[in-house]
Structure 1
Amino acid sequence: MTFARQLAAHGDRVAFITPSGELSYRELARRVSATAKRLGPVRRLVLLAGANRVDALVVHLAALSAGHPVLLVPGDSDSTIDALTEAYDPDVVARQDERGHVTLHERRPGTAHTLHPDLALLLSTSGSTGSPKLVRLSHDNVQANAASIAGYLGITDTDRAATTLPPHYCYGLSVIHSHLVRGAGLILTDRSVADAGFWEEFRAARGTSLAGVPYTFDLLDRVGFADMELPHLRRVTQAGGRLAPERVARYAEQGRRAGWELFVMYGQTEATARMAYLPPHLAAARPEAVGVAIPGGSFRLAPVDTPTEPDTAQNPDADDVGELVYSGPNVMLGYAQGPADLALGRTVHELHTGDLARRAPDGLYEIVGRRSRFAKICGLRIDPQRVEALLERHGITAFCVGDGDALAVAALTDGVESHSDETRVRRLVAQECGIPPRAVRVRVVPELPRLASGKPDHEAVRRLTRPRSPAADPAGAAGEAGADPDAAPWSTDPGAALRSLYADILDRDDVTDDSSFVALGGDSLCYVEMSLRLEEALGTLPTDWPARPIRELASLATESGDRAEDTGARETCSRGARRSVETGIALRAIGIVLVVGSHIPVFTLQGSAHILIGVAGYNFARFHLTAAAHRDRVRHLWRGVARIALPSMVWISCAVLLTGLYDPANALLVNSLLDQGTERHEWHYWFVEALVYFLVVLGALLAVPLLDRLERRHPFGVPLALVAIGLVGRYDLLGLAPARFHLGPAVVFWLFALGWAAARATSARQRLLLTAVLLLTTPGLFQDQPQRTLLVVAGLTLLIWVPTLPSLGPLNRVAGVLASSSLYIYLTHFQVYPFLRDDFPVLALLASLAVGIGYATVATRVVRRLRPAGSHPAEPDKCFERDGSRLLGSWRTVKSS
């Protein structure tokens, strides 16, 4: 291994930067040489539990320099180390001891294997860590790929890269190799980029390079990476999965402004690491492409002559699509299934990637789907054929295929089909593959589906295992091939259908009529699917359904069915009738969707949070400043504060404790007062803090009888005066604005006051005045973001002038749920969407909305239970319209505004 043997040539340049000090290339070479001598002159198989530590990397480099093949495994997985030790019988095992030091355990003085002279490295393929199937890489593979990556990235000896990825992962290892080959420095750290300590180390070491997989970029968004001062950063690299094109474009533009370049890369372990990269100057314009072949490599498109299973929408240029085949000096020697394969030489000359691709007219390659049966489940690459072999070892004959983000399994029964058999298969597959049980769909059938040719019918497997709606036509369900004969029709036994539904989604075999979603351990990941499926069956889903026993929901279904029979014709005629919805409710519903969708981002339409500030002021005037007596008015206002502050503090406290991404100041809702700076992600909850501050201050002022009478006497003049006072903060005339100017409570108060005034405006002249103020003062609030300005102006103009909007009944129901849960969706979505947005941005949006709605339901129930005996909320507004579009009482509107 050339670069491992030439470390000393870089002299006193810094090789490793650690929290305890720096290590020069000269000292590193000395340690590598000493360890190589310990390994001995006879080539031996070395299993190394990798870690971003000096001692572990010394062993790795020593083995490579002396010609000992290295089997790299994760250092934090004892089960994987033990499994591969048993499977490959290594001669030397290097792993951490109780004190955290890497020690060499020599299992024999020589070797028990015949090792091919070209063999240098053994790595697990993505998602199959612990599997005996390994990728065999040669010395030339590793050297060529390291040099190629260093070349197109432009790495020099002045670079310093952080080890943000584990070394047993080919991407993390390629970062190490490509910097060592150029005599650059490595900042050795096991910290996450979500850890403030990581950035302290990165700045102190003058870090120039940052590597990440899609989830890394989720964390970067959460910690406020866009606003960080990183003067030495030169490049950010991304691989390890598809990053949504809109995010690629956003990061490319962010890098352009900050002075660093974004390199999006494509590769596989079978190609040592990299096969393609997208030149950074094309990232913003062509974010959907994987780019061009790396230096020394080439692509060709092989004709596709067998049915394919694309992962994406149909490609309009299907005639130009073929399987992407890569050639280059970094293509692996081949696979190893066991120790005997370590003696093999090259068995692979070009790499059939299994990806379907096209070459665009500009020469860039684009991935449009997958040809192989490999499925990407929960971020792991699963081989359905391995799953079938696994089940066969347990005496189960089955067909398996990927279906979206789930694994579909049709298993052959040797007797009576039962749900317990399905549960056994599901748990067995989930345990062996390392995926959650809910990601495995199983159907036990008397005969496995096959094509006329006798081959497995994978599409039939997908159909068999897809969940059926409980409301589906019973005859149709019974007539479907493979339908469960034990599943009772919904119309005749809704209780049985509900029990089956709960058992399927929650993976439980102990469901009874007294079970509830909460009691069965339902979580936020199941909430979306369960609520949608129940709504299909029940028509209208009660807000407290998670805590209701199945027998109650079954009775609702029976009543719903009876009503449907009695009024079916009338309902059919009226279902599409025109309705209306209050503008404030529509803005809150649409606004929260835009907020969450822009954060993911599914789209980029920013500014809705500032519209919601205005809507909050509008609702404050309507639902707090009523004609009630002074004491009742003040008491009601303080209850409103509590209904916002308490659920917010509970959720954020959990985020502080569980994620480590926020400060206690967030939980206390005082971050805006302390001004944490531009680099802090604690500004996520500025909106909640602003609402609480406004209500607390106004509650204190209105507690003064004189001011209370003044507001009653001048209902429009008082908020208009507050708009004028708020403009002092809007233009920061007192120098109180925080670093994040447009998020400061003092800066945005004028919008709250403007919404308050809009609710009190009774004439066209007053509305024209408010519109003029809005048009004159909003520009400049968001620097160089005209779209934000236009959205805020449009939304608040609508609020000022249009009291209701035309709508439809179903839209009203959706708007009501979203509007009443908007605060809770805002609270929770920061902890929800990062887990889904890269591969499933739309699902991330839906999940964020669902979790927020769920938290709203729980918070509401808790508040009701904690209400003292004899205490009652203020009389709700009589806001029931004939069309049923508004069912929100005053207290509920306040809590979610």
Structure 2
Amino acid sequence: MASVLPASIARSRATPVAHPFLGGGDEQVALVGERGATSYGELRDRVVQRSALLGADRRLVMLAARRDEETIVSLLAALAGGHPVIMIDGESDAGAAETLRAGILAEYDPDTIVSSVDGEARLEHRRDASAHVLHPDLALLLSTSGSTGSPKLVRLSRGNLVSNARSIAEYLALTPADRGATTLPPHYCYGLSIITSHLAAGASVLLTDRSVVEPAFWSEVEAAGVTSIAGVPHSFDLIEASGARPLELPALRCLTQAGGKLGPERVRRWARASAAHGLDFVVMYGATEATARMAYLPPALAEERPEAIGIAIPGGALRIDAPDDEGCGELVYSGPNVMMGYASTAADLARGPELDELRTGDLARLAPDGLVEIVGRSSRFVKLFGLRVDLDRIESLLAEKGIPAYAVDADDAVLIGSPSFDELECVPGLLASATGLPTRSFRVAMVQELAVTSSGKPDRAALRAIAERAVESAVESALVTEPAPVGAVRTLERAATDGSAALAEAVRSLYAVVLDRPDAAVEDSFVALEGDSLAYVEAVVRLERLVGELPRDWPSLTAVELGAIASERRASASSGERRAAHREADRGGGPAAPARASRWSTATLEAPVALRALAIILIVGTHANLLGLQGGAHVLLAVLGYNLARFQLAGIDRAARVRSLLRATAMIAVPATLWIGAVGLTTGAYEPTTALLVNSWLGEPAGWASATWSEQWRFWFIEAAVAGALLLALLVAVPALDRLERRRPFALALGAVGLALAARVVATGGITSGAVERYAPPGVLWLLALGWLVARAGSRSQRVVSSVVAVVGTVGFFGDAQREAVVIAGLLALVWVRAVRLPRILMPMVTAVASASLFVYLVHWELYPLLEDDAPLAATAVSFAAGMLVWALWRRALRLPRWGRRLAVRARSTT
């Protein structure tokens, strides 16, 4: 851990005290992460050590929070030493997060900055003594659940934090046997409450920053024995879309939901499904101003009363202020977790508690059964993606840009109305950049004027009418052409040219072309469109031009989500370029010239694509006497298994998985059978069993052990690939095995590798294989299963296990140390290397080679023997050129039916 520690601070040492968030015994597990398990005793020791570094004199600390152990240690140490902590987002590089960080630094001037870099804490003490007057009760400062870039913070006391954590632990009945997971970031009050409530109860927390759409997340959760999972409405959208099945986790006992309204029907559906599995589904209501939580709906009532927010949390109280004739009024909360107040400047940090109760701004009523129901909003706030957005602040942001506008709630978005037609197109992108929300969160409408009431106040009734019609008709991109009330002319929902909606459309168009799916929609993902391992090379390369380095789970992300990622990165890059230009101007150098990528600048390429290209180069180059490095085909088989698991086993339902695997099998088998059959008929070189890809099974009646290499064995790789894909299809066709693969993907894949290795040993009669046994399906299918295992290895420990299996399975297999070294190197690269950087000038060639690898493999057998003795380089080059030509012709042939359909349509339209 690196730190900058002034001498005056080093001489003062914090005295360890009983900590309210260290509720477990010394031997009990507190945290589970990549480093393994950390006990409460170890955590206490680390907190004391970190407290000493922070010093005994109170300081204002800014903590860049991440979902890791260092963040938790730093937070607990600061609370133990009485140092008020400003929690900011330490994970995101988006422009909005960077703007907020810069605003807080400028406005509050923290004495110490703490961050986590590569798993180590970094402390930067900016001065020896605090520059601030800090109220004795002040413990924590959080952004107001929103992301409008304003440095307005919520002031929370130690009592606020402790009371809320204990209250949550009480109504969720948390015990030391429970284990939560960091599904939400800790700078967000809901994410923080997961940590504090579990640690206060002596329970434990799984530290993970994975998304709920990643299969590896669910592997981690199951392996760690997580008992509760928390989410905002968007989390449940992602869970449903990804096909994950959290309710089947063996240790899970409850799901919690907060951070915005989940529709009553969805609450009822989740509650019913949870109850069927013996689980609780707990809907909660709260705000940062209440340190997270104000009300919860008892799970026994969720199915019957899904529209209610429930009852006050233990220690709190809810009342309806000034109810009307129907009993509706503003919801007011009181309790020990009500904030001290807001802070807008550093001077506000000296102020004490200013509130006894919290006016929520929500209109509510108390139902006869004692449950509270929210019926509307009296304030100008909306919640999107779990974040509270100030509509007045949105209008102010636009006004600062010279765009007069009104903003209103449009259910799952904000509708912006403005008479400035020419400015409307840039509004979604501008607001997305300023708030960190996706561009699709902002819809635009042109109005004739910004109406005002007789008293001169803004009149947003016309805009609300448009919003209500859009919600009622459930039209995502409505063009309202009928006369609208009070001057509303029409709704024009557009994305900024560089906004995420435009980028999402670019991704959709890319999928339509690459996957030959003109029906592709922006809500579709590569997996949902049944993309396969043969198409993904081209998809990866094109996507990386749009998005940059792809996230690990990109195949499961929709075009909308990939567009949002690309938009955020472009906004961040633009911000960085502007700052660089300002710095250059400040130095007197004039504006900086825009960077231009040269041919020799580098670009990122996914490791499996690079391995695919390298493997086929090794295969052909070795056969043509150019290289002399055997083992490429065996590595390629593992890459195939990796891709089958990544794409074909990502289908949302069992039938889709089976269809996808059968389609992938056909994409390999059909061109191979046609080519081998055609060559066999022309030259007589191949038997029918070879053309039908069953030579390994039927071509050697005496068995593999006594077989000798012949031309009939040239296509062993194709036979093994087809057999492996069919076995996978058969496996997931069995409902019980399909469910097991979803619940315990790594464990099932590990079992499959074990069975395949056992079959290899039985077939070969030992560790080392014979001259032909190393090519027969029983001898090589373990490699395809190993690729599947690597794809399911989500944690470091699982990658270590995969590496051990790769090494143990390969050593001694060939009886050739060099060949085994090549295979082990390729397998370990598949396990540990996510991406490689190559000169841009090489990218088209490398990706074309990878894409055409199947056809190069098929064709090269007929060409390299003609030149291998006299011109091995020419033999290799000719093989690749011919294989890539056949690949191009095959792709064109696949498009002929589609062209035929288009011509038929045109012919019918002209008659």
Q: TM-score, normalised by structure 2?
A: 0.54
Letter in 1 for 2:112: V
The corresponding residue for 2:26 is 11
Task: Name whichever of 195-204 and 453-462 sits farther off.
Answer: 195-204
Q: State yes or no: 1:740 paired with 2:735.
A: yes
- The one of 450, 473, 481 aligned to 2:487: 481
Give yes or no for contact 2:428–2:495 (8 Å, CA) kept in 1: no
| 1:169 alignment partner in structure 2 | 188
Q: Deviations over 1:406-454 (max 9, x none)?
A: 4444557xxxx661x4445565444323345565456788863111111
CA distances 1:547-605 after superposition (whole Å, capped 9, x unpaired): 9xxxxxxxxxxxxxxxxxxxxxxxxxxxxxxxxxxxxxxxxxxxxx9xx9xxx9xxxxx
1:305-384 aligned at under 5 Å gives the runs 319-376=326-383, 380-384=387-391
2:554 paired with 1:659: yes
Structure 1 pair 94/684, CA: closer, same or farther in 2 (3 Å)?
Answer: farther
CA distance in 2, matches of 1:872, 1:198: 40
| In structure 2, C-alpha distance between the alignment counterparts of 1:212 and 1:470, rounded to whole Å | 34
Q: Can you list the C-alpha shifts for 1:325-362, whole angstroms capped at 9, x where unaligned?
A: 11111111111111111111122221111222222222
2:51 alignment counterpart: 36
Q: Does structure 2 conserve the Cα–Cα contact (< 8 Å) formed by 1:195 and 1:660?
A: no
State the shift of 1:143 in Å.
0.6
Which structure 1 residue ranges, 5 or more long, are not aligned? 306-317, 485-499, 511-517, 528-542, 548-592, 601-643, 704-734, 745-861, 888-897
**Aligned match of 1:269:** 288
1:690 is displaced (CA, Å) by 9.3
Q: In structure 2, how many angstroms separate the alpha carbons of the residues matched to 1:12 and 1:138?
A: 30
Asked if the contact 1:8/1:26 (under 8 Å) is kept, the reply is no
Secondary structure of 1:331's counterpart equals coil
- The whole-number CA distance in structure 2 between the counterparts of 1:867 and 1:62 is 66
Say whether the 8 Å CA contact 2:426–2:496 is kept in structure 1. Answer: no
Task: Say if 2:160 and 2:336, in contact at 8 Å, map to a contact too.
Answer: yes
From 502, 505, 527, the counterpart of 2:494? 505
After TM superposition, give the deviation of residue 402 of structure 1 in Å. Answer: 3.3
Match of 1:151 among 164, 170, 179: 170
How far is 1:319 from its partner? 1.0
**Hey, what does 2:142 align to over in structure 1?**
123
Structure 2 unaligned blocks of 5 or more: 1-15, 471-476, 510-516, 541-550, 558-607, 610-635, 675-729, 740-887
Match of 1:23 in 2: 38
1:394 Cα deviation (Å)? 4.3
Give, as a single letter, the amino acid of the residue that structure 1 aligns with 2:305: R
CA gap 1:19/1:398 in 2 versus in 1, 3 angstroms = closer
In structure 1, what is the Cα distance between the partners aligned to 2:26 and 2:894?
Answer: 75
Deviations 1:237-256, CA, capped at 9 Å, x for gaps: 22222223333333333333
Quick check: 2:66–2:116 contact (8 Å CA) kept in 1?
no
Q: Tell me by how many angstroms 1:132 deviates.
A: 0.9
2:654 aligns with 683
Aligned residues: 584
Counterpart contact for 2:23–2:202, Cα < 8 Å: no
Residue 431 (1) aligns with residue 433 (2):
yes
Aligned to 1:108: 127
For residue 434 of structure 2, what is the amino acid of its counterpart? E
Aligned to 1:722: none
Q: Which residue of 2 aligns with 1:230?
A: 249
CA contact (8 A) 1:149 1:294 kept: yes
In structure 2, do the counterparts of structure 1 residues 241 and 411 end up closer, same or farther at CA, with 3 Å as the change threshold? closer
Q: Secondary structure at the match of 1:241?
A: coil
How many angstroms apart in 1 are the aligned matches of 2:898 and 2:207? 60
Q: Is the 8 A contact 2:175 2:202 kept in 1?
A: yes
Alignment of 1:429-468 (within 5 A): 429-436=431-438, 439-440=441-442, 448-462=450-464
Alpha-carbon separation, structure 1, partners of 2:178 and 2:20: 20
- Kindly indicate whether the alpha-carbon contact (under 8 Å) linking 1:3 and 1:181 is maintained by their aligned counterparts in 2: no
Q: Secondary structure at the match of 1:389?
A: helix
CA 1:472–1:526: 2 relative to 1, 3 Å: farther
Superposed displacement of residue 283, structure 1: 2.1
**Could you say what secondary structure the match of 1:57 adopts?**
helix
Q: Which residue of 2 aligns with 1:640?
A: none
**How far, CA to CA, are the matches of 1:70 and 1:676 in structure 2?**
44
Correspondence for 2:505 among 511, 517, 523: 523
Equivalent position amino acid for 2:104 in 1: L
Name the aligned partner's letter for residue 487 of structure 2. A
Equivalent pair of 1:289/1:364 in contact (CA under 8 Å): yes
Q: Which residue of 1 aligns with 2:110?
A: 90
Amino acid paired to 1:53 = D
Distance in structure 2 (CA, Å) of the matches to 1:268 and 1:229: 31
Aligned partners of 1:675, 1:448: CA distance in 2, in Å?
Answer: 52
> What's the CA shift for 1:25?
1.3
Distance in 1 (alpha carbons) for counterparts of 2:507 and 2:380: 26
Are the counterparts in 1 of residues 148 and 390 from structure 2 also a CA contact under 8 Å? no
SS of the equivalent of 1:73 reads strand
1:187 and 1:207 in contact (8 A); partners too: yes
Take 2:898 and 2:448, find their aligned partners in 1: how far apart are those partners?
Answer: 59
C-alpha contact 1:236 1:261 (8 A) present in aligned 2: yes
The change in CA–CA distance for 1:399 and 1:238 in structure 2 (over 3 A counts) is closer
**Which amino acid is 1:481 matched to?**
G
| 1:657 to partner: Cα distance | 7.7
What residue in structure 2 maps to residue 53 of structure 1? 68
Alignment of 1:179-194 (within 5 A): 179-194=198-213
Match of 1:209 among 228, 233, 242: 228
SS of residue paired to 1:320: coil
How many Å separate the matches in 1 of 2:350 and 2:428?
A: 38
Give 1:387's match in structure 2, choosing from 389, 394, 402: 394
- Rate the CA distance shift 1:128–1:104 in 2: closer, same or farther, 3 A: same
Deviation at 1:393, TM superposition (A): 3.9
Q: Hey, what's the Cα distance between the residues in 1 that align with 2:22 and 2:361?
A: 37
Superposition deviation, residue 294 in structure 1 = 0.7
* Equivalent AA in structure 1 for residue 311 of structure 2: V
| Alpha-carbon separation, structure 2, partners of 1:208 and 1:646 | 34
Relative to structure 1, the CA distance from residue 462 to residue 209 in structure 2 (aligned partners, 3 Å threshold; closer, same or farther) is closer
Is the contact made by 1:645 and 1:692 (CA closer than 8 Å) also made in structure 2?
A: no
Distance 2:335 2:378 in 1: 21
**In structure 1, distance between residues paired with 2:122 and 2:261:** 37
Structure 1 residue 273, shift from structure 2 partner = 0.9
Question: In the TM superposition, what is the alpha-carbon distance from 1:28 to its structure 2 partner?
Answer: 1.2
Aligned CA distance change for structure 1 residues 523 and 328 (closer, same or farther; 3 Å): same
Q: Aligned partners of 2:890, 2:648: CA distance in 1, in Å?
A: 38
Distance 1:135 1:395, change over 3 A: same
Q: Distance in 2 between matches of 1:869 and 1:232?
A: 49
Q: In structure 2, what is the Cα distance between the partners aligned to 1:263 and 1:522?
A: 34
Work out the CA distance in 2 between the residues paired with 1:224 and 1:444: 39
Q: Aligned partners of 2:33, 2:428: CA distance in 1, in Å?
A: 44
Q: Is the 8 A contact 1:52 1:188 kept in 2?
A: yes
C-alpha distance 173-129 of structure 1, shift in aligned 2 (>3 A): farther
Identity of aligned residues (%): 43
1:810-851 deviations in whole A, cap 9, x for unaligned? xxxxxxxxxxxxxxxxxxxxxxxxxxxxxxxxxxxxxxxxxx
Does 2:86 align with 1:75? no
Q: For residues 136 and 278 of structure 1, what CA distance do their matches in structure 2 show?
A: 27
Inter-CA distance 75–523: structure 2 relative to 1 (3 Å threshold): same
CA distance in 1, matches of 2:60, 2:891: 64
Return the letter of the residue paired with 1:348. L
Distance 2:731 2:30 in 1: 46
User: 1:691 Cα shift?
Assistant: 9.0
| Residue aligned with 1:505, SS | coil
